Amino acid sequence: MYLYELRDKKALNMMILEVLEQYTDSDHRLTQQKIVDLLEKNYGVPCTRQTVKNNLMLLKNMGYDISIWGGIFLKSRLFDNAELRMLIDSVLFSRTLSGEEAERLIKKLTAFGNKYFHAKVKHVCHLPKLIHSDNTDVLRNLDVLNDAIEQGKKVRFTYNSYGKDFQLHPRRKEPYIVNPYQMVANQGRYYLLGNYDKYNNISHYRLDCMTNVQMLDDKVKPKDQVEDFAKGYSLPRHMVEHIYMFSGPSVQVKMRVSEHMMGALIDWFGKEFRIVQEDADKPIVSVACNKLAMRYWALQYGEYAEILEPESLRDEIREAVNYMASFYR
């Protein structure tokens, strides 16, 4: 009597499924005999080709997408190779996670692929150090914040900035107490959207700059008491208007841009801007944006974007450009 006959038959099904997950895809197919050999090699389970065939049909009847014609392989899995690679790259280039956290997550994601996928990404964990956070508590803090948002509780944390020693240092002695409402991702970093009790607007806090995060027993401030929510809050619009995640109100900006800037405008503002004057080479567009963020944006794209309105922003940029020019005289 074979070993598999002495065990729960479900165990053999799971072993065959694991073999298919690890050793097959559309480019790598197995025969029934090869599956028999791998069961013996990997699990010490002897069986026959007929047994493998019967169990494959049982797995198909259970809903597993297995092709048995022209070679046996698992047609669909939790993540295909392209999806896994996108997830791994998002972790690899995340500036929020620490290097250790990123490497640990990449290893977990890689385990969802088969042996051929492992070979394709084995170099990933050996890439030169990319820019990652020094904060090793990011994932734990994210968990606490998610719980606080779900339960409607305030949070307390230390908010930090980097010093000349390249280390995080508290911005002040007193901890921040904030009403948390939502987590968002922007430019490779996570931010908490919340409200600082003393004020009635939405403020942003970078997750990797937060330490000692604790959930309090106090209930969050109702959203209708926060001005931005009371005015009719929209997350997509909020993200477009706060491209650098600076807090503060938005202003309506009118600017003249080079025609080839359309791609950059869509990258930054989505399709939330309007073309208000269609000049041949330099259309004039209008967009709502945080004033400080727009100042940074306009300086970044200097020669390709001219701020027309509001006049106060145009004056600020002129002063900044003149000040910068003095460095090179």
Q: What pLDDT shows up at residue 180?
A: 94
Say yes or no to pLDDT of 82 above 80: no
Say yes or no to pLDDT of 78 above 90: no
**Ranges 4-8, 29-33, 172-176, 211-215: which has the least confidence:** 4-8
Q: Of 231, 258, 283, which one is at a domain's C-terminal end?
A: 231
Query: What is the average per-residue pLDDT within 58-87?
Result: 85
Q: How confident is the model at residue 169 (pLDDT cuts 50, 70, 90)?
A: very high
Say yes or no to pLDDT of 312 above 90: yes
- Name which residue leads in pLDDT, 3 or 91: 91
CATH assignment of the domain containing 39: 1.10.10.10
Q: Is residue 242 part of a domain?
A: no
The reply to whether 322 and 257 lie within a common domain is: yes
Report residue 145 as tokens. 């914040």
Report d(CA 96, CA 254) in Å as an integer: 33
Say yes or no to pLDDT of 9 above 70: no
- Name which residue leads in pLDDT, 9 or 194: 194
Query: What is the average per-residue pLDDT within 23-48?
Result: 89
- For residue 202, the Cα-to-chain-centroid distance in whole angstroms is 21
Residue 298 CA: distances (Å) to CA of 237, 262, 293, 309: 19, 14, 9, 12
Average pLDDT over the chain reads 84
Q: Is residue 241 part of a domain?
A: no
Phi, psi of 178 (to 5 degrees): -130, 145
Q: What pLDDT shows up at residue 47?
A: 87
- Quick: pLDDT tens for 90-137: 777 677 777 778 888 888 888 888 887 777 666 555 444 555 666 778
Query: What is the average per-residue pLDDT within 268-275?
Result: 85
pTM over the 0.85 mark? no
- Name which residue leads in pLDDT, 167 or 4: 167
Q: Is residue 244 part of a domain?
A: no
DSSP letters, 102-145, are: HHHHHHHHHTTS-HHHHHHHTTGGGSPP---BS-TTHHHHHHHH
Say yes or no to pLDDT of 141 above 90: no
For residue 175, give its domain range: 138-231
Exposure pattern of 24-60 as b/e (b: 16+ CB <10 Å)? bbeeebbebebbbebbeeebebebeeebbeebbeebe
The reply to whether 152 and 213 lie within a common domain is: yes
The reply to whether 116 and 164 lie within a common domain is: no
The reply to whether 14 and 31 lie within a common domain is: yes
Cβ neighbors of 71 (< 8 A, separation 6 or more) are 29, 30, 31
Residue 57 host element (H or E):
helix 49-61
Answer yes or no: are the C-beta atoms of 215 and 177 closer than 8 Å.
Answer: no
The reply to whether 142 and 215 lie within a common domain is: yes
Report d(CA 128, CA 251) in Å as an integer: 42
Q: Is residue 153 part of a domain?
A: yes
Q: What pLDDT shows up at residue 128?
A: 46
Q: What pLDDT shows up at residue 124?
A: 57
Say yes or no to pLDDT of 2 above 60: no
Q: What pLDDT shows up at residue 131?
A: 57
The reply to whether 265 and 322 lie within a common domain is: yes
The reply to whether 215 and 176 lie within a common domain is: yes
Q: How confident is the model at residue 5 (pLDDT cuts 50, 70, 90)?
A: very low
Report d(CA 67, CA 20) in Å as an integer: 10
Query: What is the average per-residue pLDDT within 301-310?
Result: 90
- Number of structural domains found in the chain: 4
**Ranges 152-161, 261-270, 311-320: which has the least confidence:** 261-270
Report residue 11 as tokens. 């165990």
The reply to whether 85 and 70 lie within a common domain is: no
- Name which residue leads in pLDDT, 91 or 55: 55
